[in-house]
Amino acid sequence: MVTTNAPIITLRDVRFTYDGGATWALDGVSLKLEDHGLIFILGKSGSGKSTIARLIAEKFGDDVTVLRHDDYYKAQHDLTLEERARQNYDCPEAFDTALMAEHIRALRSGQAIDCPVYDYMIHDRSAETRRIEPRPMLLIDGILVLADARLRNLMDIRIFVDTDADIRILRRIRRDVNKRQRTLESVMEQYLATVKPMHEAYVEPSKKYADIIIPEGGHNLVALEMLENRIRHHIDA
């Protein structure tokens, strides 16, 4: 994987306010993030993190590889469909994070991997794998990638995508009902039983490890342009 010594993002004496200057959310902040070709994009369920990863992948094509933490859900072939549907998929124990960390290290060292493929329709890992070749830029998409030190220690850039809770739940309902053939009742039941409490226990606390927080996900055109410009600079270097 190609690397450069130039910083991917440099901020100097940044000030930012939400209320016209009455109070400053940022005041005199400076930050330099070195470019090693690995960007982690995480956030709450329905925040828009996957949209950002998809837009970047579409923009740069074969120069960017996206790994999804969801594909590393543990295999549950020994459970029935009904049992799998009742599992908690929003806790760190649901993921084979050790395998994902191994695959990230392999890609960064120039080796191809066979990535597992998760099937949301059957709540289980499918029999297929996806061959992924190393590319100049690697994006990691997932809600819990900062909650585990094994992944945090591999990260160069940590981007947390933040969106209001009411927007996130509406997006989740639309996605799960339209794309994953879930009922509205099952989506709401899962949200109250596992998604919301696991968000409060793991996702929200992990935000403290983020280098950059992007509000409004894929609708934040300024943040998208910033990422696209620096990725283009890295790829062309």
> Could you read off the pLDDT of 29-69 as tens digits, one per residue?
444 444 445 565 555 455 565 667 777 777 777 788 889 99
Taking CA 163 as the corner, what is the angle to CA 159 and CA 169, rounded to the nearest 5 degrees? 125
Over range 21-32, report the average pLDDT: 50
Please tell me which of 83-92, 134-143, 219-228 the model is most confident about, judged by mean pLDDT: 83-92
Instruction: Give the integer Cα–Cα distance in Å for 37 and 31.
Output: 18
Over range 230-236, report the average pLDDT: 67
Long-range contacts of 200-205 (CB under 8 A, 24+ apart): 201/91, 202/90, 202/91, 202/92, 202/144, 202/147, 203/42, 203/43, 203/44, 203/45, 203/143, 203/144, 203/147, 204/44, 205/147
3-state SS class at 91:
coil
Task: State the chain's mean pLDDT as an integer.
Answer: 78
What pLDDT shows up at residue 2? 38
Tokens standing for 9? Answer: 């993002």
Per-residue pLDDT tens digits for 176-212: 888 888 888 888 888 888 888 998 999 889 989 888 8
Where do the domains of the chain lie, and which CATH numbers do they carry? 7-236 (3.40.50.300)
3-state SS class at 32:
strand
Pairing of strands 7-16, 26-34: antiparallel
Q: Which of 162, 152, 158 is nearest to 45 (CA)?
A: 162
Helices (H), 72-134: 81-85, 97-108
pLDDT band at 99 (very low <50, low <70, confident <90, very high): very high
Over range 104-133, report the average pLDDT: 94
What pLDDT shows up at residue 132? 94
Instruction: Give the integer Cα–Cα distance in Å for 73 and 92.
Output: 10
Residue 234 neighbours by CB distance under 10 Å: 21
b or e along 110-136 (b: 16 or more beta carbons within 10 Å of the residue's beta carbon)?
A: eeebebbebebeebbbeeeeeebebbb
- Give the percent of the chain with pLDDT over 70: 73
Tokens standing for 224? Answer: 């998208």
